[in-house]
Amino acid sequence: MPFKLSLLPKAIITSLSITTLVPVAVGAQANQSAGADQSVEVIEVRSIRHKLEQAGRLKDVIQKTEVLDQVMIENKNALSLSDAINNEPGVNVSNECSMCGVKRVMLNGMKGEHTTILVDDLPTHTLISGFYAVDAIATTGIDRIEVARGAGASLIAPEAIGGTVNIVTKQAYDNAAQFDVSKGSHGYTAYKASATGVSASGTTGLTLIAQYDTQDQEDHDDNYVSEAPFHENMSLTALVSHDINNSNNVQIRVSQVESEIFGGPVLGKNADSIGQVIAGYDGIESEQLFADDDVRQLWVAKPWETAEWIDTSREEAYLKWLTDINGELASEFAVSYAKHDQDSFYEGIDYIAEDTMWYGRAKFDWQLNDQHFLTFGIDSRMEEMRSKTDALESVEAYVSDSFDYDTYGVFVQDTWTPLDDLEVALALRIDKVEADFIDDKKPGTEIDETFVAPRLDMRYDHNENWTSRFSMGRGYRAPLSFFETDHGILDTALGYLIDVDKLEESLSANYALSFDNQRLATTISVAYSNVENLAALDETDDGIPILTQLDDDASVTTFDLVVGYNITENLLINASFEHFDHNDEFKSSYAIAPVEDRASLDIEWTTDYIHVFWSTVWFGSRDLTEYGYEGYNILGDSSSIKPTDAPAYSVTDVRLKMPLKQWLGNDASLYTGVSNLFEYTQIDEGETPLFWDADGGYDVGYIYGPLHGREFYAGFEIKL
């Protein structure tokens, strides 16, 4: 049965109200009299972890990395990771199902499964958690998000052939608390709380984070089938950092995430509750689904026949031990753990999965001399996924996607600085990779390879304003889950098969030229990625879906230009333009058409009394036939063919924040905003994502535009 979180917000806020644990370890001298020169000395306790960060000891790359700080996340009113990074340069979060709301984080035009999500530089997300977990990754308590694009983007994540998204948790450097409550249309509700505390000695810091959010279904054409699902998320996180002495630091982070998604029959119209819909499953399909067999008309079949429900529970934990050995040599020993449990129902098909991952790493940083900084180490990843579906067990053409996946790697990198203006990093990874589908119908180990992944990063400062960066690297990925190419298992009669026996292998290169004179900042970059053995969904001669791999290479070229300009001290404008060019092989692998052209304009105006943020993102037109789109609105009526020319459109968001400090005497604010201000959706333009295929089958993924309508929200935030 689906879980309910409606009673959690009060408990969350109460549990985090114990913020002021110990006296703050920060002191300051008093300001001198008005009009005189002020000399304020701030003494802040910083751990050995922070010292190593400042010295660059905890960083693995010098390549171009986009960073989203707390202000940028707040401007978007982003509750989740997917909301925060969507439409950033080179980033697209693709919505690939109108029922289950599966989101894919795509970097540099690559597919969602090519993105590796890290937490504090450690893998804590399993292979299947990139499908439904990204909407449940809370933004509360995030210090920043680092996005590095391209194969070899991280020395420690060779599988990130599209790039990495690193979520950096807020560390405790003082005693503070922050609470945020907001409500809005479509049942939008969010409760956010975070607290940090530092011991009197300054050696121990504690961070506590909690977030709860929910949003109702949306049915823009009133046919009793939702185009955007209901979702409810809850997350609790604790991070402890302790300095054992001046040279040793230990960090422990634990997190629990719960998520529930439900789409299809509209609750309150043709169904009273999620439990009622699932309990109503009888295995007998209706003769007619829609009035007049038209997907734009009223749903007349049983609620379960269009229902998709996904209940996800995630446990995350890591342990780090950082050591500054002798001022020239530093070490990091880390272990991370992740467990992802999924219970789901796809229009009568059940799917239960349990995915457990352990990761361990020993890494050393050695300052050889003024010109050479050496990083080397070993790591290992062990992942076990077990899936089950009662509805398909008796189907002959069914292969379970349960697998065992193990990697063992050794890595070394030399960062060479021959000149003050030139930095070169040469890196090499060697990984032993084993992937085994354990179904009896898949004997033997499908993938057993040793992969060599070199990488080159260069940065050259032409002068104080102009900087060039160049990166090139190889990467690999084991395609292991059927969910990569089809979010659900929707055909009990046919089942599905898996034919994967090779690693995906990638080679990518990226060049970026940046200019910054403190008032104007601009970057122009071009990237190219090529993938061999790309996984794709196909069909056998009998029409059975099969996860296979392409014979020809898939490639994508990405171009982007980003400009930021401070018109005045209070007014900032950011603009960007991006183009993604996929070859035919890559296009054939997509279930949903990706972005081809995109431009954005952000305006941020800040005064003592108000903060205004305006964002407009424009998306170019696309030819959907290049991505295999074909569908009909009326069953058996070839004249009701759905359009294959996706029009250009734009989406605008606006947010206003008003400080209340002058009235309340503390750091409090009211804020309000509107997402999708002009309410552009493909449904309101006359095109539902529902369709009939050429064989008369019903599906829900004819998506090329926004499915969420206009959303108003307002909230109150206070910092203590």
- pLDDT at position 403 over 60: yes
- pLDDT at position 14 over 70: no
In this prediction, residue 603 has a pLDDT band, given cuts at 50, 70 and 90, of very high
- pLDDT at position 4 over 50: no
Give residue-wise pLDDT tens across range 155-207.
777 788 888 899 999 999 999 999 999 999 999 999 999 999 999 999 999 99
Among 176, 175, 169, 239, residue whose Cα is nearest residue 202: 175
> Of the ranges 58-72, 434-448, 484-498, 547-561, which one carries the lowest mean pLDDT score?
484-498
- pLDDT at position 32 over 70: no
Q: d(Cα 451, Cα 505) in Å, to the nearest integer? A: 9
- pLDDT at position 562 over 90: yes
What letter would DSSP give residue 591? S
- pLDDT at position 346 over 80: yes
Among 318, 308, 400, 306, residue whose Cα is nearest residue 354: 400
Region 646-669: mean pLDDT is 89
CATH of the domain at 520: 2.40.170.20
Q: For residues 36 and 141, which has the higher predicted lDDT (pLDDT)?
A: 141
- According to the per-residue pLDDT averaged within each range, which of 213-217, 394-398, 496-500 is highest? 213-217
**Beta-carbon contacts of residue 553 (< 8 Å; ≥ 6 apart):** 530, 531, 532, 534, 583, 585
Q: d(Cα 8, Cα 254) in Å, to the nearest integer? A: 19
Strand locations in 108-175 (E): 115-119, 122-123, 142-149, 163-169
In this prediction, residue 36 has a pLDDT band, given cuts at 50, 70 and 90, of very low
608 burial type by CB count under 10 A (0-12 exposed, 13-18 middle, 19+ buried): exposed
In this prediction, residue 101 has a pLDDT band, given cuts at 50, 70 and 90, of confident
- pLDDT at position 669 over 50: yes
In this prediction, residue 703 has a pLDDT band, given cuts at 50, 70 and 90, of very high
Give a yes or no: residue 3 inside a domain. no
- According to the per-residue pLDDT averaged within each range, which of 125-129, 356-360, 393-397 is highest? 356-360
Give a yes or no: residue 198 inside a domain. yes
Q: d(Cα 83, Cα 146) in Å, to the nearest integer? A: 14
Share of the chain above pLDDT 90, in %: 69
Q: d(Cα 278, Cα 352) in Å, to the nearest integer? A: 15
Give a yes or no: residue 521 inside a domain. yes
Q: How high is the pLDDT of residue 22? A: 33
Q: For residues 401 and 622, which has the higher predicted lDDT (pLDDT)?
A: 622
Q: How high is the pLDDT of residue 671? A: 97
Q: d(Cα 554, Cα 199) in Å, to the nearest integer? A: 54
The domain containing residue 600 runs over which residues? 8-719
β-pairing, 711-719 with 597-606?
Answer: unpaired
Q: Provide the H-helix boundaries in 458-562.
A: none
Record the pTM.
0.88
Q: d(Cα 388, Cα 399) in Å, to the nearest integer? A: 10
Q: d(Cα 613, Cα 186) in Å, to the nearest integer? A: 22
- pLDDT at position 40 over 50: no
Give a yes or no: residue 153 inside a domain. yes
Give a yes or no: residue 621 inside a domain. yes
Region 453-458: mean pLDDT is 92
Q: d(Cα 390, Cα 492) in Å, to the nearest integer? A: 10
In this prediction, residue 527 has a pLDDT band, given cuts at 50, 70 and 90, of very high
Give a yes or no: residue 1 inside a domain. no
In this prediction, residue 565 has a pLDDT band, given cuts at 50, 70 and 90, of very high
Cα distances (Å, whole numbers) of residue 13 to 256, 669, 711:
16, 18, 25
- pLDDT at position 492 over 80: no
Which single residue is written with the structure tokens 């960083």? Answer: 59
Instruction: Collapse the DSSP code of 386 into the 3-class scheme (helix H, G, I; strand E, B; otherwise coil) and give the result.
Output: strand
Q: Is the alpha carbon torsion for 544, 548, 553, 556 positive or negative?
A: positive
What is the distance between the terminal CA atoms of the chain, rounded to a whole angstrom? 39
What letter would DSSP give residue 624? G
Q: d(Cα 74, Cα 69) in Å, to the nearest integer? A: 9
Give a yes or no: residue 253 inside a domain. yes
Give residue-wise pLDDT tens across range 213-242.
999 999 999 999 999 999 999 999 999 999
Give a yes or no: residue 43 inside a domain. yes
> Of the ranges 271-285, 393-407, 410-424, 601-615, which one carries the lowest mean pLDDT score?
393-407
Average pLDDT, the chain: 87
Tokens of 165: 């998204």
Q: For residues 346 and 157, which has the higher predicted lDDT (pLDDT)?
A: 346
How many structural domains are present in the chain?
Answer: 1
Region 484-501: mean pLDDT is 66
Q: How high is the pLDDT of residue 483? A: 58
Among 698, 715, 705, 710, residue whose Cα is nearest residue 652: 710
